[in-house]
Amino acid sequence: MNDEREFWLESLDDLDEELAAGDLEPEDHQVLSRSYTRQAAQAIRGDQEPSEKADRGGRGKLIAVVAGLVVVGVLAGVFLARAVGSRHSGDTITGNDAVSSVPSLLRNAEESAAAGDLAEAIAIYDRVLERSPSNPTALAYKGWFLALLGQEAEAANVLADAVVVAPDYPDARAFRAILLYRTGDCFGAAAELVAFDASNPPEFISQLVENQGLRTNIALCQIVLQGQEQFQTLADLGLAANDAVAAARALWDPTTPAQGDPALALRVYEAVLADNPDHPEALTYSGVMLTQTGLDDQFAEGARRINQAVEAAPNRPEARLWRAWLLFGLGQTDQARADLDHLDSLNPSPEIARLATDLRSRLG
């Protein structure tokens, strides 16, 4: 136990030296210091159990780089956190290798990737795996870098191993979801996202997945593949309600009603409402769609849905916005202004705020 405690305390000293030398950013130093201090305290209390767990701290820059590569598919501009997020006292390796510990090897792999040399990073991860065959970080990032280099079949095998040895490692789940989506296995990708959500991922990784539109793209892919089938419920689509709605909105945008696939989008909204009759977004956007058909009976149903959305969720900005537009079209200008006034108090998104401003200019 004393050896373990000394390991973490020495690691803290190493962090201070790296910060002083300019090799570690202050924010990374702060995060890692908290992590190492917690590990040292656990060792002192005697409740530290050595285990081979995935790197979780100090990887925000690494994940940010991954986000860029997902979108543009280039290697330029890669920069990675120098520090390994967590160390394990059992990772030290003896022998003649110039680099004698798994944390050091992982750091070297990160530095190689930062220089744009993913092949070298993969080679270093292989050295890690020779010493530590179940290291989740090495498996996950080797698999991801293989995918970026176009070696998708091998990447698939490595990432499959990563999720087996560390089923709760969110990085591996996210990478595998991306790879499966890119190779056309939308339903497999969706299953990986379910596992990702269950892994309690750090907020910045969850935000990455959302910001890159991965969830919506996977849902949209599932819907398009199922488009020829007679799906009626969310279970038929294999989607959660919010994911289905996001995909339906990608299929049809009420601000450009002549574009997209409104018929398929409406089918998705109907599937959502079959399971969640008061889902405010499904009510709102299907309602807007129906009011724009020009058919009297569908207009009446659309208006009913928009009103139901406001009743079910009076503080949903999109419901207030589109009811205000509906009321404006019906000549009920005072009621439209009341909805816009309420909308102003809801901190709407820039797009909703823009549409509200447009409507106010029309109201005069």
Q: What is the mean pLDDT of the chain?
A: 79
Structure tokens at 74: 């280039």
Alpha carbon distances (Å) from 292 to 149, 304, 321: 47, 14, 15
Averaged pLDDT, 137-142: 94
112: tokens are 């190689």
Closest by CA to 248, choosing from 278, 276, 281, is: 281
Distance between CA atoms of residues 237 and 199, nearest Å: 23
Q: Is the pLDDT of residue 229 over 90?
A: no
Beta bridge partners of 101: 92
Contact present, 223 and 268 (Cβ < 8 Å): yes
Of 31-40, 42-51, 95-104, 178-187, minimum mean pLDDT range? 42-51
Q: What is the DSSP secondary-structure string of 94-135?
A: -SS-SS-BHHHHHHHHHHHHHTT-HHHHHHHHHHHHHH-TT-
Give the integer Cα–Cα distance in Å for 130 and 142.
13
pLDDT tens-digit series, residues 326-340? 999 999 999 999 999
Indicate whether 51 pLDDT > 70: no
Please name which of 49, 54, 16, 52 lies closest in space to residue 32, comparing C-alpha atoms: 16
73 pLDDT above the threshold of 50: no
From CA 209, how far away is CA 193, in angstroms rounded? 9
Rounded Cα gap, residues 276 and 93, in angstroms? 56
pLDDT > 70 fraction of the chain, expressed in percent and rounded: 75
pLDDT at position 363 over 90: yes
Please tell me which of 6-15, 163-172, 300-309 the model is most confident about, judged by mean pLDDT: 300-309
At residue 181, does pLDDT exceed 80?
yes
How far is Cα 171 from Cα 67, in angstroms, rounded to an integer? Answer: 12
- 69-83, 200-214, 234-248: least confidently modelled range: 69-83
Q: How many whole angstroms separate alpha carbon 155 and alpha carbon 69?
A: 15
For 275, the token pair is: 């399971």
Residues 6 or more apart in contact with residue 206 via CB below 8 angstroms: none
Q: Is the pLDDT of residue 74 over 50?
A: no
- Dump pLDDT digits (tens) for 154-178: 999 999 999 999 999 999 999 999 9
CB-based contacts of 222: which residues, under 8 Å, 6+ apart? 186, 187, 190, 237, 238, 239, 247
Paired with 92 in beta bridges are 101
**Which residue in this structure is represented by tokens 């959502």?**
272
For helices 280-291 and 317-329, what crossing angle results, to 10°?
A: 20
CB 113 within 8 A of CB 145: yes
Among 231, 229, 222, which Cα is nearest to 194's?
222
Residue 18 to residue 30: CA distance in whole angstroms: 12
Question: pLDDT by residue (tens digit) across 107-132?
Answer: 888 888 888 889 999 999 999 999 98
Phi, psi of 92 (to 5 degrees): -65, 135
